[in-house]
């Protein structure tokens, strides 16, 4: 394989965590690997709710941490929750200084939204549902203006290369016009910040390329994956037949929107004392049950917001308009869709993975903050906190640096991309077997189907990154014989005590479990 050596830190990804880390590392030279033009393919840009932070004088970081632990269903690392929430205010102020136009009150305070399982309105927002896009816009402008940051757009990371138990290089391929054969980049270190796994499911709110590839790359290199079974399903994806599904932000329910079915019944009232503002797993299962029963769950914003929804929630208004729905006069059909992966590459307090030379931040990481059920709008906060921590630890680990020339990729021959039919088959297998409600029979069928899909295109690294993460999710879900947070087993509906254990698994262990259920592939 052709190799290029650079003194730059290689950052895989182009979302919030990647951008923020690159800025915190400046003026040390970094190289960002982005499959799309900056801002176009990252989940961060699609985040509607905002960033959770105790900015109001009546609120506190301690209360935020307590809500995080409570929502996480017994598997949140309380120390991590304390540390992350304590840093939240400083990051909001930092983003403000970088130009993020957060909604402000007349006296200069921050407008705060209330979201599910928060005891206070503590989600800092931009124009109702534009927080992710506006934060990304501000950071991208800063990155473009920072000389130490080089961005390779139209390039996809496909594998990590390890030597003596430490990551030594990243294999990348051009993907701007098909897929090329890979080339190996040797850098000063590697930071993975490339998103989650929602696109492994047939119904998702994630951008098209967010399909577990980064977690899969690390797993194939030998990294430990933690809490893989905990996949969060957002209860109010707009059910308009679009892939990915548009999101109807939780802030709508914070403003008083209610969930009804085709008969006009508010079905969440009987399921939880907080009704529509119950923890996401409970609301998602409530919506899913209505869908399965053919009762057409819908989000009704008419009484709570009326015409205000058009101005205050422009992304939702646009999605509705494109689907031929008028949210001022009609309820919005919704469905539970794969939204956020609480699990990922296990990291320590500094963002280090179990492999040497590898740091991780953002949704691809599993820090212990989210537990079994992420508290709303803690995802962007975690990305900010750990991007900074990774940057600080990289500085300490690498020591002095020198300027590095920009990296130029040579012309590369074409390679075979993942078979679209196999990807669709994988997404359906995950939805059917490892979705909102699971059981042993479905999970074992899912593992067998993943094996068959993998075997159908044995030389495709991109597909195998997806199947690696899918295998880990299904295997970890099969091993957890209880229901906890977002992981619900119909055959084990009870939770084994208030406090639960985090799961940890290597791909080798997951494959050994999968092998018991593989079909005859000969």
| Residue closest to 352 by CA, chosen among 342, 339, 361, 364 | 361
Q: Following CA atoms 480, 483, 489, 493 in sequence, which dihedral angle do they give, to the nearest 10 degrees?
A: 130
Helix (H) or strand (E) holding 20: helix 16-25
Residues 6 or more apart whose CB falls under 8 angstroms from that of 4 comprise 183, 184, 185, 186, 407, 409
Written as six digits, the tokens of 279 are 């923890």
CA distance 53 to 65: 10
Q: By the 8 A CB rule, do 436 and 470 touch?
A: no
Strand ordering across the sheet containing 155-163: 3-5, 183-186, 166-174, 155-163
Question: Among residues 11, 14, 16, which one has the least CA distance to residue 34?
Answer: 14
Distance, in Å, from the CA atom of 517 to the CA atom of 331, rounded to the nearest integer, reads 43
Q: Rounded CA gap, 394 and 26, in Å?
A: 12
- Cis before residue 481, ω within 30 degrees of 0? no
Find, among 108, 105, 97, 130, the residue nearest to 251 by Cα: 130
Cα dihedral across residues 520, 227, 89, 237: positive or negative: positive
* Beta strands 190-192 and 358-360, pairing class: parallel
CB hemisphere CA count around 335 (13 angstroms)? 22
280 assigned to active site: yes
Write the burial class of residue 60 (CB in 10 Å: 0-12 exposed, 13-18 middle, 19+ buried): middle
What whole-number distance in Å separates Cα of residue 365 and Cα of residue 192?
8
Catalytic residue among 28, 211, 220, 280: 280
Hey, what are 323's tokens? 């689907």
Please identify every residue annotated as catalytic. 280
């Amino acid at each position: 394989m052709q190799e290029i050596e650079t003194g730059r830190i290689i950052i895989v990804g182009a979302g919030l965590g990647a951008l923020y880390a690159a800025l915190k590392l400046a003026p040390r030279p970094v190289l960002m690997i982005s499959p799309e033009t900056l801002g176009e393919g990252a989940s961060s840009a699609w985040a509607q709710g905002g960033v959770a932070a105790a900015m109001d004088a009546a609120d506190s970081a301690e209360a935020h941490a307590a809500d995080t632990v409570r929502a996480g269903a017994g598997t949140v690392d309380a120390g991590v929750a304390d540390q992350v929430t304590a840093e939240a205010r400083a990051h909001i102020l930092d983003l403000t200084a970088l130009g993020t136009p957060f909604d402000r009150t007349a006296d200069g305070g921050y407008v705060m939204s209330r979201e599910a399982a928060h005891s206070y309105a503590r989600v800092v927002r931009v124009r109702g549902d534009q927080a992710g896009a506006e934060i990304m816009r501000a950071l991208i402008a800063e990155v473009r203006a920072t000389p130490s940051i080089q961005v390779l757009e139209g390039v996809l990371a496909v594998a990590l290369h390890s030597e003596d138990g430490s990551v030594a290089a990243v294999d990348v391929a051009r993907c701007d016009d098909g897929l090329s054969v890979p080339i190996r980049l040797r850098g000063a270190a590697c930071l993975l910040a490339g998103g989650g796994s929602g696109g492994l499911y047939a119904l998702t709110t994630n951008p098209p390329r967010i399909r577990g590839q980064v977690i899969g790359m690390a797993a194939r290199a030998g990294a430990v994956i933690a809490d893989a079974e905990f996949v969060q399903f957002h209860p109010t994806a707009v059910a308009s037949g679009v892939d990915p599904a548009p999101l109807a932000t939780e802030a709508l329910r914070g403003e008083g929107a209610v969930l009804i079915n085709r008969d006009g019944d508010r079905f969440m009232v009987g399921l939880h004392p907080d009704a529509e503002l119950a923890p996401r797993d409970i609301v998602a299962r409530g919506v899913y049950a209505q869908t399965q029963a053919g009762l057409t769950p819908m989000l009704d914003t008419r009484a709570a917001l009326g015409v205000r929804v058009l101005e205050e929630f422009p992304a939702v208004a646009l999605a509705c308009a494109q689907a031929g729905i008028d949210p001022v006069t009609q309820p919005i059909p919704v469905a539970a869709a794969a939204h956020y992966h609480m699990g990922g590459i296990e990291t320590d307090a500094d963002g280090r993975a179990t492999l040497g030379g590898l740091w991780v931040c953002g949704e691809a990481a599993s820090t212990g903050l989210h537990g079994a059920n992420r508290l709303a709008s803690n995802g962007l906060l975690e990305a900010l906190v750990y991007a900074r921590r990774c940057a600080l630890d990289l500085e300490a680990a690498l020591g002095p640096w020198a300027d590095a020339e920009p990296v130029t990729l040579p012309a590369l021959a074409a390679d075979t991309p993942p078979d679209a039919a196999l990807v669709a088959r994988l997404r359906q297998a995950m939805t059917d077997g490892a979705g909102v409600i699971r059981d042993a029979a479905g999970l074992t069928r899912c593992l067998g189907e993943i094996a068959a899909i993998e075997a159908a295109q044995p030389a495709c690294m991109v597909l195998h990154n997806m199947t690696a993460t899918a295998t880990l999710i299904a295997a970890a879900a099969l091993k957890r014989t209880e229901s906890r947070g977002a992981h619900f087993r119909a055959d084990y509906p009870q939770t084994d005590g208030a406090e639960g254990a985090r799961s940890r698994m290597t791909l080798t262990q997951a494959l050994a479990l999968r092998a018991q259920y593989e079909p005859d592939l000969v």
